[in-house]
Structure 1
Amino acid sequence: MSAARPPLAVTGIGLVTPAGAGAGPTWQGVLDARATAAPDPALTGLPVGISCRVPGFDARALIGGRDSWRLDRATHFALVAAREAVADAGLSPADWDGARVAVVLGSAAGGVGSYERATERFGAKGPSGVSALALPAFLPNMAAGQLAIDLGVTGPVLHTATACASGAAAVHTAALLLHAGACDIALAGGTDAMVTPVCVAAFARMRALSRNPDPSRASRPFDAGRDGFVLGEGAGFTVLERRADAVDRRAPVRALLVGVGTAADAHHPVAPHPRARGLEAAVRNALAEAGAGPDDVDHVNAHGTGTRLNDSAEAGLIERLFARRPPSVTSAKGVLGHTMGAAGAVEAALTVLTLQHQTVPGTAGFAVPDRDTARIDVVHGRPRRQRLRLALSISAGFGGHNTALAFVPAGPRRP
């Protein structure tokens, strides 16, 4: 394998998910393959009443009293996950040159919860009912801006919005900034808190959400009985650096990002291309940058939403592209639900952990494939120990956005 660009070191990860706040609880939750979906009292009376919430998240304790009430829930998640990633990388904002640090944060909906509350107050009380803090809470870029303030980052601070591929697009954009020399450290991730009445009602009207009466079997990626996703929330971050810089500062390198790719379907506003044309192009672009081919891929962390159209198109792509050497496949959404703009970043971090531990988590909710998903190797039940040399994390979003990220281990198993 001969990479077209030098690999980038993943030196830190941070996660806040429905499996718990922190990379450790999230990894264990995914390994346990137990769905986190549960009845949600905040959704009472709506067509769908289950969600995947971050459990026991206390913003006041984790962030501080003032920020716990003036910032949106999505920003809360981002702050906690980003701080964990920075600490995991052995970095301290007190010591770095903030002008050489970048923040790239993806989100599908920004502070949509704050926007809904402001709209309710406007309807009830008129203009005087809207807080002066409403705009800073819900504008899409503000989570990235708040991270920059919190961490003292004065380099590039960007927001990516490619629906459910937003977090993966943030990692892609951060890689481009590092390769261009625009920064030396890039904090890349995604966050969303879209478990809100309007979002649930809208997704339910689109028939995108599972209506399975058993929450433990509602999110079923690639399963014959799948009927939609379960809406989740959370955040995920990776710290990226040039490998030489990471080695110089003796940083803990978790994995290497060796290729990124993005492409559009140009097909339909919300439905994926039936042959996953854009996703295939994104994967091929990432592999080309990695100096690899389909036969080099050992594992795919799939988008795997549990919807009929996505899983069929994605499974068809995996079957077709990796026909000679089928990789293992998993989807974390069986456990975590669909965390929307955070999903691509969360799954990138999980792919890094999969490589580190040489262990593929099982896909919760998967039991029986249908004719569209039967010919791919979906890991289910117990985690699978496997020799992993190259792994892909692939993401797709409304609007036909597709991103693929290629990772290899940091140690001697690297090709």
Structure 2
Amino acid sequence: MKRIVVTGYGIKAPGIEDRQRFKDVLDQGLCTLEVVSGIGPNETDLVCGIIHNEYKRINGRNYKYYPRIARMAIAAADEAVKMSGIELKEGLRVSVIMGTSVGGLSEIEQYAVYSNNGQYDKFPLIGAGAGNPHSLSSSVAYHIGANGLVFTLSTGCTAGLDSIMMAKVLLESGQADVCIVGGSDAPISTGCIYSFAKLGALSKDLDIHTAGSPFSMDKEGFVLSEGAAVLVLERETDALERDTAIYGSIDNIYSNNDGQSIFASDLTGETMSKALKMTVGDYLPTYINSQALGLQANDTVEYIAYTNNFEDHSIPITSIKGQIGHAFGASGVMQTIASLISIEYDFIPPTVKTTGYGFGDLPILQETKYCDVNQVVVTSHGYGGNNTCMLLSKYLQ
């Protein structure tokens, strides 16, 4: 089987504009979240992860009227392609696959004011673009000049990792030469906030240093965050032929679904345990980069999957959600980039904010650990029932 490798990546996250800043945030255990006034139910305040850059102009092009998720993704893709040094020349089959959970919901809500009031004359001409989730991937394809296979996946929080899985299939089967993959979401909108507040899923804590505490049964609720993350994936042979830097290899990736109602998930953790088992096999990774985000049910599933696969509790586990919040469909690729950085610079980022209460036998890393990092497992699951795990390795020729 052809090895699939990462030759570039880009990230746009709260307080993070490039990979150097992301490295510093991870290494130092920094929190980039903030209190946003009046956006919660009954105009309450919420801790959120906000990206303040609007990305209206990128490389001289005007993207003012593009959906927010598309603008963030274009900026991240631009960074990833530049890092890879790849020339998107004629004949090179470049595929774009992007994942999102809520799509252009924020714009749809804005434009609904006009449609609900029958104000046809004020409804924007660009409304169709915002309402089409595929605008995300087609926007990235336009910006980088790709006209190969272009897909948008909307599988909830696993959408970013699922895009990597699909790209791996296309590259291994020879249907694409380069895949630009990732995820982008901007869930800080009234509908999204109200929906998850109704479920009791959002953190009500207004201290950024404690809100959204992974692996903490004495806390409850996660922090909504915006974000976009993009990878450049190629076959190893092609990357070597053009003599470019390789930052890691995608060894394995596996996905399944809980097969339950849209209002439920498999709280036994059995389907997530299988996804992790099928991903890891007999390997012993350096650590687990967990999706744990501060929801007791969600984090308990992570605990069960870990325990079912690593009974001796010898593999450290960590979550970066306490630092940057949870960006839905972009989160898995954000975790992937965090893992690539830890592989390159030999450290494991800490799980900030965790109390560990209720997870006492789980080897949660609470301080940065400097060590050789050779393999990382990235886990992701969420609303809709998908469970996706990936095994990422340091590249050794």
> Any conservation in 2 of the 1:275–1:317 contact (CA below 8 Å)?
no
* Aligned mate of 1:121, from 110, 114, 125: 114
Tell me the alpha carbon deviations over residues 55-90 of structure 1, each in whole angstroms, 9 at most, x when there is no partner. x4142354657312x111111110000111111111
Q: Is it true that 1:21 corresponds to 2:17 in the alignment?
A: yes
- Tell me the SS of whatever aligns to 1:20: coil
Mapped to 2, the partners of 1:298 and 1:304 lie a distance apart of 18
* Aligned mate of 1:139, from 129, 132, 139: 132
Counterpart of 2:323 in structure 1 is 335
Mapped to 2, the partners of 1:270 and 1:47 lie a distance apart of 26
Mapped to 1, the partners of 2:313 and 2:297 lie a distance apart of 24
* Aligned mate of 1:11, from 2, 7, 10: 7
Mapped to 1, the partners of 2:48 and 2:155 lie a distance apart of 22
Counterpart of 2:149 in structure 1 is 156
One-letter amino acid of the counterpart of residue 152, structure 1: G
Mapped to 2, the partners of 1:325 and 1:206 lie a distance apart of 32
> Any conservation in 2 of the 1:63–1:80 contact (CA below 8 Å)?
no
Counterpart of 2:302 in structure 1 is 314
Q: Which moved more, 1:268-277 or 1:225-234?
A: 268-277
- Tell me the SS of whatever aligns to 2:380: strand
Could you tell me the percent identity over the aligned residues?
23
Change (3 A) 1:76 1:48: same
Q: Is it true that 1:97 corresponds to 2:75 in the alignment?
A: no
* Aligned mate of 2:43, from 43, 46, 63: 46
Shift of 1:313: 1.4
- Tell me the SS of whatever aligns to 2:43: coil
Mapped to 1, the partners of 2:112 and 2:92 lie a distance apart of 37
One-letter amino acid of the counterpart of residue 29, structure 1: V
Counterpart of 1:374 in structure 2 is 360
* Aligned mate of 2:245, from 248, 252, 255: 252
Mapped to 1, the partners of 2:137 and 2:196 lie a distance apart of 26
Ranges in structure 2 where 5+ consecutive residues have no aligned partner: none
Counterpart of 2:30 in structure 1 is 34
* Aligned mate of 1:215, from 208, 221, 231: 208
Change (3 A) 1:91 1:257: same
Tell me the alpha carbon deviations over residues 244-275 of structure 1, each in whole angstroms, 9 at most, x when there is no partner. 11111111100111101011112342544223
Return the structure number with greater helix share: 1
Alignment of 1:159-198 (within 5 A): 159-198=152-191
Change (3 A) 1:268 1:309: farther
Counterpart of 1:351 in structure 2 is 339
> Any conservation in 2 of the 1:271–1:309 contact (CA below 8 Å)?
no
Tell me the alpha carbon deviations over residues 6-25 of structure 1, each in whole angstroms, 9 at most, x when there is no partner. 32111111000013112221
Shift of 1:99: 5.2
Shift of 1:38: 1.5
> Any conservation in 1 of the 2:45–2:206 contact (CA below 8 Å)?
no
Change (3 A) 1:271 1:47: farther
> Any conservation in 2 of the 1:358–1:387 contact (CA below 8 Å)?
yes
TM-score of the superposition, structure 2-length normalised?
Answer: 0.95
Tell me the alpha carbon deviations over residues 333-379 of structure 1, each in whole angstroms, 9 at most, x when there is no partner. 1011010111011111111112122210011211x2123x2222111
Mapped to 2, the partners of 1:64 and 1:337 lie a distance apart of 31
Aligned pair count reads 396
Shift of 1:236: 0.5
Counterpart of 1:293 in structure 2 is 282
Tell me the alpha carbon deviations over residues 185-226 of structure 1, each in whole angstroms, 9 at most, x when there is no partner. 111100001111221111101111001132221010112332
Alignment of 1:392-403 (within 5 A): 392-403=377-388
Change (3 A) 1:126 1:175: same
Mapped to 2, the partners of 1:265 and 1:82 lie a distance apart of 32
- Tell me the SS of whatever aligns to 1:217: coil
Q: Which moved more, 1:334-343 or 1:347-356?
A: 347-356
Change (3 A) 1:303 1:80: same
> Any conservation in 2 of the 1:98–1:155 contact (CA below 8 Å)?
no
* Aligned mate of 1:204, from 197, 201, 204: 197
Ranges in structure 1 where 5+ consecutive residues have no aligned partner: none
* Aligned mate of 1:227, from 216, 220, 227: 220
Shift of 1:125: 4.6
Q: Which moved more, 1:215-224 or 1:182-191?
A: 215-224
* Aligned mate of 2:372, from 374, 387, 391: 387
Change (3 A) 1:98 1:307: farther
Counterpart of 1:284 in structure 2 is 277
One-letter amino acid of the counterpart of residue 189, structure 1: G
Mapped to 1, the partners of 2:187 and 2:60 lie a distance apart of 22
One-letter amino acid of the counterpart of residue 49, structure 2: C
One-letter amino acid of the counterpart of residue 379, structure 1: L
Mapped to 1, the partners of 2:8 and 2:207 lie a distance apart of 36
> Any conservation in 1 of the 2:153–2:163 contact (CA below 8 Å)?
yes
Mapped to 2, the partners of 1:31 and 1:274 lie a distance apart of 33
One-letter amino acid of the counterpart of residue 34, structure 1: L
